[in-house]
Amino acid sequence: MTTTAAWQERWERSMLGNYGTPPIALVSGSGTHVTDADGREYLDLLGGIAVSAIGHAHPALVRAIADQAATLVHTSNLAIHPRGVELAERLIALSGWDARVFFAQDGATANEAALKIVRRHAAAQRPDGTRQRIVAMEGGFHGRTMGALAVTGNPAKRDPFAPFGHEVTFVPFGDAAAVEAAMGPDVAAVILEPVQGENGVIVPPPGFLGEVRAITRRHDALLVVDEVQSGMGRTGAWFASTAAGIVPDVMTLAKGIAGGLPLGAVLVTGPARDALRPGDHGTTFGGNPVACAAALAVIDTIERDGLLANARAQGAALAHGIRDLASPHIREVRGVGLWVGVEFTGPIAGAVEVALRARGVLVNAAKPQVLRLAPPLTITADEVTAFLRALEAALAEVP
């Protein structure tokens, strides 16, 4: 029995079945590579699903975590700790907005906080409770907690857990006219992702975010932009919102913000900035000193090493290289920055994922016909070339 097989057996005896049994057991990582329990190395084109923004075991991240852990690990939310204030200030400066910040544990809890801000703001506008409806996008994904799941536009994920206590109208992603038609005096907010990651890296038409921003302003509703996957440099800009030239009322972050440690953030600007009052919301672990120190190291590294430019350059090389393979299996290559979706002509994404793993490359079949790529922002041109060779070979063996 291999070491991986031993871990799989122990997993099956001890873990709930919501994930199934993973095909690999990873024990270490360095840069854009990870190593499994059998000593096999993989080129990581998934990055923990857009989390390991500066790669695995980056010296700056390791040092920041170790130094902070040796100083102060936890305070509770009854005390200020410097790393949290410093991180909030950095995020506000990166956005360029007059914002305030709340720290959560992850993307779902950041979106839960955003929904409570929406509800509080709407109650201040309409104390009679007649403004609670939310407009969300078909195909969107905002998390698996009950509030976040309510606005997730994927019936397979959402419907088994209904009802939710939120009135939500779903409209086609990228259709500004449908957003306008769904609006009314009872709409408190529109929530969307700038690019739909879980839905297969779906990029909306140019100008869509700006049109929705204008629509929400006309109807005096909030705009909540979920940048859990798109934020922190994934698209080649700090935030897809700022790249699109818009200022949402609420923006949520997580994934790559702390390089692998659990952290989410909510930036709130405009009239909703003062929606929450003391006691309205809180968290035990969100924004703890170690996670905030890690996030500061991630930001410093992205800035110092020019990783936004690298994301744009290597993302373009990745997308162009896949198109240049001219495989009959490939229908479309889409994405922005180091966030690429490869849509196939049939449901072969799972088979391609397996074939690539056999060649020492990790990717993700986000949908039966779509492969999702979200490598560390540190990926090099040589590593992109190595992936393209592996993908060409994998596609050649898929029926």
CB neighbour class for 13 (10 Å; exposed up to 12, middle 13-18, buried from 19)? exposed
**What are the DSSP calls for 319-382, one per residue?**
HHHHHHT--TTEEEEEESSS-EEEEESSS-HHHHHHHHHHTTEE-EEEETTEEEE---TT--HH
- CA dist., res. 152 & res. 168, Å (int): 10
Distance CA 302, CA 306 (A): 6
Dump strand ranges (E) for the chain.
26-30, 33-36, 41-44, 99-104, 133-137, 168-171, 187-192, 222-226, 250-253, 264-269, 330-335, 340-344, 361-362, 364-367, 370-373
Active site residue 157: no
Active-site residue identified among 44, 175, 226, 249: 226
Among 148, 150, 152, 160, smallest CA distance to 108 is for 148
Active site residue 226: yes
Catalytic pick from 36, 44, 102, 141?
141
12 sits in the region (left: phi over 0; alpha: psi -120 to 50; else beta) called alpha
116 counts as catalytic: no
Place of tokens 């950041």: 110
Under DSSP, the state recorded for 25 is -
> What distance in Å separates the CA atoms of residue 218 and residue 215, rounded to the nearest whole number?
5
- Out of 103, 239, 249, 255, the active site residue is 255
d(CA 172, CA 258): 32
Catalytic residues: 141, 226, 255
